[in-house]
Amino acid sequence: MSAAPARAGADRPPLFEVRDLRVVFPGPAGGLEAVSGVDLAVDRGEVLAVVGESGSGKSVTMLAAMGLTGPGVTVTGSVRLDGEEYLGRPEALRRLRGKRMAMIFQDPMTALNPVMTVGAQITEMIRIHDRQVSQRQAMKKAVDLLALVAVPFPERRAAQYPHEFSGGMRQRAMIAMAMANDPEVLIADEPTTALDVTIQAQIIELLDGLRRERGLALVLITHDLGIVAGLADRVAILYAGRVVERAPVREAYYRPAHPYTASLLKALPSLEGDRGRLVPIDGSPPGLASRPPGCSFHPRCPIAVPRCMVERPALIAVGDHAAACHLADLSARTPLPMPAAGGAR
């Protein structure tokens, strides 16, 4: 059993909790395990960042938790909202999606319907979950939501199609649609990746404002630790379908307990002189069908020892962290400066 996710208010169940989640895609020899026993938890008003390179399993984890995996994919474990179990209850999950839990994606063009106006799409989202709301009331709320996410001239914009919006405005429109039914949990999957840095900063500020003002529990999926520094309270680092480190964000930045976290941080730009040179991580993450035995990170790990090649490390508590590394104590002793992209709250 791995170390449970640490969080404030641990005497009551978290608002949203994923426990021992496993996701297996159809494949040879019983299938290919994309997610191997992931535990995550987030509370109201809190931001949990789920970080990892492409293929780490971060998006698959959250899609599975939302019941959005395709046919033939096996999902086991536990997904709870306010203590109530939803995994294995597709109908209940369907009612939850877009209502109490919502998700936004990296590319709004794939989520927005190109042949419906933005206002009509938000209106539809409102009325799917509440038929008592009239078309006129829903459209008024759609305009209010566009104003909430700082879309200028929201009434006029509501009558436009997605292709008439810029990339940043489309992302705002998608956030407005996700907020249509006042969700308690918002999952944002790489919400700023396709945007330039100025618009990225605006979207992050918008999400942070929604978290503060509406008490949203926000799960931010990203590969960018720079974004995490300015927004998240806690971070979970995923590698090859497992959580390899979990910690309050400052702890993860200043004293990473896992060599993979340390490597991600070294690959970030810094304003501090002694870290002017970026250090890319050698190699690439293993594919689903070629995960190495022992610690999956061992082919890329600068401090691997023979034990790492045969024995998979469990996720254990190391001070305020949980880390899956045989040498976690050793790794945790080297403080690192914060990255340039923001300061932890």
Nearer to ligand SF4, 126 or 295 (CB): 295
Of 155-163, 192-200, 280-288, 325-333, the window that binds ligand SF4 (rule: CB under 6 A) is 325-333
Does 8 participate in binding ligand SF4 (rule CB under 6 A)?
A: no
> Partners of 126 in the beta sheet?
none
Q: How far apart are CA 118 and CA 102, in angstroms?
A: 17
Query: Do residues 290 and 299 make contact, with C-beta atoms less than 8 angstroms apart?
Result: no
Nearer to ligand SF4, 234 or 298 (CB): 298
CB of 139 to ligand SF4, least distance (A): 53
Site string for ligand SF4, 11-50 (x = CB under 6 A): ----------------------------------------
Binder to ligand SF4 among 66, 187, 207, 325 (CB under 6 A)? Answer: 325
- Tokens (6 digits) for 247: 């910690």
Q: How far apart are CA 316 and CA 273, in angstroms?
A: 34
Tell which phi-psi region holds residue 150, choosing left (phi > 0), alpha (psi between -120 and 50) or beta: left
Binder to ligand SF4 among 104, 145, 249, 304 (CB under 6 A)? Answer: 304
- Residue 11, Cβ density class (10 Å: 0-12 exposed, 13-18 middle, ≥19 buried): exposed
Q: Which residues from 235-294 bind ligand SF4, rule CB under 6 A?
A: 258-259
Altogether, the residues listed in the chain come to a count of 345
Query: Do residues 233 and 218 make contact, with C-beta atoms less than 8 angstroms apart?
Result: no
Does 314 participate in binding ligand SF4 (rule CB under 6 A)?
A: no
Binder to ligand SF4 among 111, 126, 308, 332 (CB under 6 A)? Answer: 308
CB of 204 to ligand SF4, least distance (A): 30
Contacts of 7 (CB under 8 A, 6+ apart): 14, 41, 42, 43, 46, 234
- Tokens (6 digits) for 24: 């297996």
Does 52 participate in binding ligand SF4 (rule CB under 6 A)?
A: no
CB of 224 to ligand SF4, least distance (A): 21
- Tokens (6 digits) for 13: 């169940």
CB of 190 to ligand SF4, least distance (A): 25
Site string for ligand SF4, 207-246 (x = CB under 6 A): ----------------------------------------
Binder to ligand SF4 among 327, 336, 338, 344 (CB under 6 A)? Answer: 327
Of 46-54, 141-149, 278-286, 321-329, the window that binds ligand SF4 (rule: CB under 6 A) is 321-329
Binder to ligand SF4 among 295, 318, 336, 344 (CB under 6 A)? Answer: 295
Binder to ligand SF4 among 127, 211, 242, 326 (CB under 6 A)? Answer: 326
Q: How far apart are CA 291 and CA 150, in angstroms?
A: 44
Does 303 participate in binding ligand SF4 (rule CB under 6 A)?
A: yes
CB of 325 to ligand SF4, least distance (A): 3
In the chain the first and final C-alpha atoms are separated, in Å, by 31
- Strand 234-239 and strand 47-51: pairing? parallel
Of 29-37, 40-48, 68-76, 303-311, the window that binds ligand SF4 (rule: CB under 6 A) is 303-311
Q: How far apart are CA 93 and CA 122, in angstroms?
A: 20
What is the full DSSP assignment across 100-161?
A: TEEEE-S-HHHHS-TTS-HHHHHHHHHHHH-TTS-HHHHHHHHHHHHHHTT-SSHHHHHTS-
Total number of residues binding ligand SF4 (CB under 6 A)?
13
Please give the residue ranges that form the binding site for ligand SF4 (CB under 6 A): 258-259, 295, 297-298, 301, 303-304, 308, 313, 325-327
